[in-house]
Structure 1
């Protein structure tokens, strides 16, 4: 029973605050015939609004369209044959996972035996190919330059060859663009594709721009990848200088003091005074002790990351419930999986209104800060380039703020080396998912070189490599901007 007219209680007064949703509703219309063709599916998730708009933009654009693949398309593509891998501890055949194509300096997932029943050389990628992840997280794109040339990748990776070599950079840029990637991941009806096969590229439209525009875009992309190669060369040079100065052998050749050298398993003893309240064997691995002893013999001094001469602070952000929003309302947010990528964007955006204070105090990044993954895969290391400044990284990534620019590059090189990685990994704890924290990072040993000129040179090489990576990012963004303005949205 209702007493009186309560309608007046729901009238919104002029002073009332109106909350605007940061994720506005996206909508589109679907014709009945289109719904029937799509198997009479009524779920909204089956029809991607943005994909339908992207198709329309390309088809109604300034330039005529051609197809990405197919007999008359711009490319041919293939994947490798499936095979059973025979893993070994070490071999001449390091193999890389498809997910690592986005890493600026990828590392192998493991090694396969020469007797693996497949054509191993057919799995190698070659310079000028475009690589694309085609299962799992699909549609990630990379270009084979000097860094990847000749490497062995899993069969489950799409290798794309352009029929005209001058189209390579242009096709890559289109697949990296928001419009191109959106079309790639859906079909003409807007239905999401869950696995990409070579024949799928024959249904992807691409503007057939004039050669002069293709060349303009392509040159920017190729120059971007040249800079990435140059940055990797500088990093490799810096690591070699570090090894030579400290007279470090290959880590497998490090002399380790095992308790019983001819035992079928590694055995060693630990003094009670060296336990440091850690009973897990992984903390006391002899190779770590061997590395530290070697550093003490060949360095002027061995200090720790927490030394004020080395770092201002080590930051472990607190955990929090994340609020993700549309790009317009948030800041670029990425996690440990994207840490080694040049451009870890197009992932997620963290709400500014909900997390602004936390982002400013703990999460946003500063140039030359060293980042280390702290859970899951421990010890992935990167240094913040200029274009990451004020972006936001996950709380699962530890931050080392170097004491100054004169030590930042050197510290990064040491922690990036296989010796630094071993020193990081020793602190891992947890039976299922490994973790480290800021207290562990502060205790990592760091050698100060006897030759200060060499240390300064290593530092400058690392910082120069970081600048090249920023320039590489800037050139790729310029190429995507030209593609948008002069091709996709051209009038």
Structure 2
């Protein structure tokens, strides 16, 4: 096959390595993503960086249409493409930006970098004694086969539709969350430096985070708006620990962690044998359930929910994943939206306990107060998640078509 390098198709670049100053309250700022946040269904700002106090801050802002390639870390290799929703964020130098002017070539390159050959070629240039790294010249030197025109047309069409579906899903969910925030204004922006409490009100929890005024305010706010206990909408389930027997793909079922639940294309997806469990069905997740990481860092992505779609029906999830099974008559989208509301997120995170790793109990989760979600909003949320599932399916078809083309050439 004829070969070109990425540097001949487009160009690669990265911002200068520098420490970004965080934004102060009321200061002009940009929402900031950590590198692997770009792979989430719904990227959420990990912080805000100052605009006036960071030189050339515009070079860190994501540009729609750029291919974002990881350049460091244990799972070096995954890539994605920036849509208009991602373009609202700033991103560190840990992602290399690949610009390709021709749309069809850009979409084809994205799919190619996701093939087994593309991933192998990306990783061959890595270096580092402790943490793997890539440089811009490493990426630009990656060879890309010149595929037949019919393959380019098919693959670019599939990837283009996938990007549209994913952007539509993100835009719709962000709109729904904004509507809920307008309906239930959140006080998280208030800077609490201290507060007082009576000892008799502490109960069994002495940790301050459990009694934070934002948590109490959210509960009162939802109570006043006819909020209900989460247990009235869904049953919370958290399985017990198990002994893991990991196997290669094709010899077991995919199993996701709390972090991977948030990714349409799970990074470093593992497979596990059913002999790991006494009752494998206890660890299955099914379409319509809301799931979130119940073990991890409360200040991180712990408690942030995902709605299980049909493409993941029957997958396995670890014992670190909380399952919320909707009660009869409750729409799945209503459960997801309720849990994603800021007041509910604050309550769930406040349930965390543990000296090293944060944990929570399902019976505590069921006591959280959630808003009453109307059916029209719930239906829209479900539609957005269906767009996510369709997007992942289309990307898979595009990658499979390229794999087939490469295999045909080697016969």
TM-score (norm 1): 0.76
**Residues 346-369 of structure 1: CA deviation (Å, up to 9, x unaligned):** 5211123x22644322x1110011
Quote the offset at 1:210 in angstroms. Answer: 2.8
Match of residue 376, structure 1, among 293, 296, 299: 296
Match of residue 186, structure 1, among 124, 128, 142: 124
Q: Does 1:268 align with 2:193?
A: no
**Structure 1: distance between partners of 2:94 and 2:178:** 34
Match of residue 447, structure 1, among 363, 371, 374: 371
User: What's the secondary structure of 1:448's corresponding residue?
Assistant: coil
**Residues 385-439 of structure 1: CA deviation (Å, up to 9, x unaligned):** 1111111112111111111463321121121122221111111112432221212
Match of residue 248, structure 2, among 319, 326, 336: 326
**Structure 2: distance between partners of 1:165 and 1:108:** 28
User: What's the secondary structure of 2:231's corresponding residue?
Assistant: coil
Instruction: Name 1:104's counterpart in structure 2.
Output: 41
**Structure 2: distance between partners of 1:457 and 1:89:** 38
Quote the offset at 1:163 in angstroms. Answer: 4.4
Instruction: Name 1:416's counterpart in structure 2.
Output: 340
- Contact 2:181-2:342 at 8 Å conserved across structures: no
Instruction: Name 1:296's counterpart in structure 2.
Output: 223
Quote the offset at 1:321 in angstroms. Answer: 2.3
Instruction: Name 1:394's counterpart in structure 2.
Output: 318
User: What's the secondary structure of 1:215's corresponding residue?
Assistant: helix
For structure 1, the 5+ residue unaligned runs are 1-62, 259-264, 450-454
Quote the offset at 1:290 in angstroms. Answer: 1.3
User: What's the secondary structure of 1:400's corresponding residue?
Assistant: strand
Q: Does 1:148 align with 2:75?
A: no
Change (3 A) 1:172 1:416: same
Please, which moves more after superposition, 406-415 or 140-149? 406-415
User: What's the secondary structure of 2:243's corresponding residue?
Assistant: coil
Instruction: Name 2:155's counterpart in structure 1.
Output: 217
**Structure 1: distance between partners of 2:219 and 2:140:** 57
- Contact 2:243-2:276 at 8 Å conserved across structures: no
Match of residue 478, structure 1, among 386, 392, 397: 397
Instruction: Name 1:348's counterpart in structure 2.
Output: 270
**Residues 276-317 of structure 1: CA deviation (Å, up to 9, x unaligned):** 321222111112221121222222xx321222xx12x32111
Match of residue 281, structure 2, among 353, 356, 360: 360
User: What's the secondary structure of 1:87's corresponding residue?
Assistant: coil
Quote the offset at 1:150 in angstroms. Answer: 4.1
- Contact 1:125-1:151 at 8 Å conserved across structures: yes
Change (3 A) 1:252 1:318: closer
**Residues 50-101 of structure 1: CA deviation (Å, up to 9, x unaligned):** xxxxxxxxxxxxx3222223xxx22210111011222245542221111112
- Contact 1:94-1:109 at 8 Å conserved across structures: yes
Change (3 A) 1:223 1:251: farther
**Structure 2: distance between partners of 1:117 and 1:241:** 32
Alpha-carbon RMSD:
2.4
Instruction: Name 1:279's counterpart in structure 2.
Output: 206
Match of residue 19, structure 2, among 74, 84, 108: 84
**Structure 2: distance between partners of 1:89 and 1:386:** 43
Larger radius of gyration: 1
- Contact 2:242-2:276 at 8 Å conserved across structures: no
- Contact 1:126-1:149 at 8 Å conserved across structures: yes
For structure 2, the 5+ residue unaligned runs are none
Quote the offset at 1:465 in angstroms. Answer: 1.1
**Residues 199-254 of structure 1: CA deviation (Å, up to 9, x unaligned):** 1124422210133421321121121111111112221232234344xx32243467
Q: Where does 1:157-196 land on structure 2 (aligned, <5 Å)?
A: 157-186=95-124, 194-196=132-134
Instruction: Name 2:139's counterpart in structure 1.
Output: 201
TM-score (norm 2): 0.90
